Amino acid sequence: MEKIALITDSASDINFEILEENNIKMLPFRIIYSDKEYEDRIDITPEMMYARLEDEIPKTSLPSIEKITEVFKKVISEGYTHAIIITISAAFSGTYNAVRLVCESFPELQTFVFDSKTLTMAEGAIVLETSKMIMDGKTFLEITEALPRLRKNIDLYFTIDTLEYLQKGGRIGKVAGTIGEFLNLKPIITVADDGTYRTAAKARGSKQSVSKLVDIFKGYLENGKCKAWILDGNGPDKVQNLYDSIKDLPNVVECSIACTIGPALGVNTGPGLVGLAIEKIE
């Protein structure tokens, strides 16, 4: 009889209450300041990180091998025979490769490591849909075969106040450069199929950038039903505005404001982010 464990990293931005309700194990990223190291969401909150950003931009590091090993041992001790591990895009972090390496030390556990090729609640949406499949009694093989199809139905869009933090963190990829900032142009950033950032659109100013996100979402709704999660990167006014603008649109199956983007991702985007994770419902 299969007993399937579900594991993700803290970049999925699923809050602890939902993790516990769905029995999802979490691998915390490490947040490294000059004087101390923290475990993402365990001993540093998003609010703590955003409050300190002006004084110091910390470094981030993938979950430690020791922590990954500890979680695997716990899974085995709880009687699990199989484990599905869903990670942040391998283009942004070495987590995927680190987890695969640890899997080799646990031959008694049948594992499947899935590179979500995305992050924050787009990754989180994949995790939550996987949890539902486990609860519905789907087999390990059925779930692992469904994951690539599920990923194709989930997209991510967000806008930020400044590209400064993406540049400092080396995460800017193929996003438009800083010249647009002089014109108050805000890029709408998406994650491409290869798991890296791209510019999906541009808008002049914060209000228009939120309107552009609404327009993008309406384009999805014209083609069918969707779920939406509003991304909150310490931009409460914009987050509420976006939520109010889309929650009652036709074809919206579910719409909620997601857990605040955690320190692991927030250090690379800075304050003021707002965005959408969109799941197309087949």
pTM of the model: 0.93
Which long-range contacts does 192-196 make (Cβ < 8 Å, 24+ apart)?
Answer: 193/117, 194/91, 194/117, 195/89, 195/90, 195/91, 195/92, 195/115, 195/116, 195/117, 195/118, 196/89, 196/91, 196/92
The 3 state secondary structure assigned to 72-122 is HHHHHHCCCCEEEEEECCCCCCCHHHHHHHHHCCCCCCEEEEEECCCCHHH
Element (H, E) at 61: strand 59-61
- Helix, coil or strand: residue 66: helix
What pLDDT, on the 0 to 100 scale, is given for residue 175? Answer: 62
The 3 state secondary structure assigned to 219-279 is HHHCCCCEEEEEEEECCHHHHHHHHHHHCCCCCEEEEEECCCCCHHHHHHHCCCEEEEEEE
pLDDT profile of the chain (282 residues), mean per 10: 96 94 97 96 93 91 97 98 98 97 97 98 98 98 98 96 70 54 77 93 89 98 97 91 97 95 90 95 88
How far is C-alpha 71 from the geometric centre of its chain's CA atoms? 20
How far is C-alpha 66 from the geometric centre of its chain's CA atoms? 23
Strand 273-280's sheet: what is its strand order?
A: 197-204, 185-191, 154-159, 273-280, 226-233, 252-257
What pLDDT, on the 0 to 100 scale, is given for residue 179? Answer: 46
Buried b (16+ CB within 10 A) or exposed e, 238-249: bbebbbebbeee
Among residues 278, 268, 135, 147, which one has the least CA distance to residue 213? 278
Under CATH, which architecture does the 4-28+63-152 domain have?
Answer: 3-Layer(aba) Sandwich (3.40)
Dist CA 147 CA 87 (whole Å): 12
Buried b (16+ CB within 10 A) or exposed e, 124-143: bbbbbbbbebbeeebebeeb
Assigned token pair, 208? 């228009």
152: exposed, middle or buried (Cβ count in 10 Å: 0-12, 13-18, 19+): exposed
How far is C-alpha 232 from the geometric centre of its chain's CA atoms? 12
Domain ranges for the chain: 4-28+63-152, 154-280
Q: Among the CATH numbers 3.40.50.720, 3.30.43.10, 3.30.1180.10, 1.20.120.10, which is that of 154-280?
A: 3.30.1180.10
Label residue 13 left, alpha or beta by phi (over 0 means left) and psi (-120 to 50 means alpha). Answer: left
Strand partners, 85: 7, 113
Contact at 8 Å (CB) between 150 and 84? no
Dist CA 235 CA 13 (whole Å): 16
Contact at 8 Å (CB) between 81 and 3? yes
What pLDDT, on the 0 to 100 scale, is given for residue 118? Answer: 98
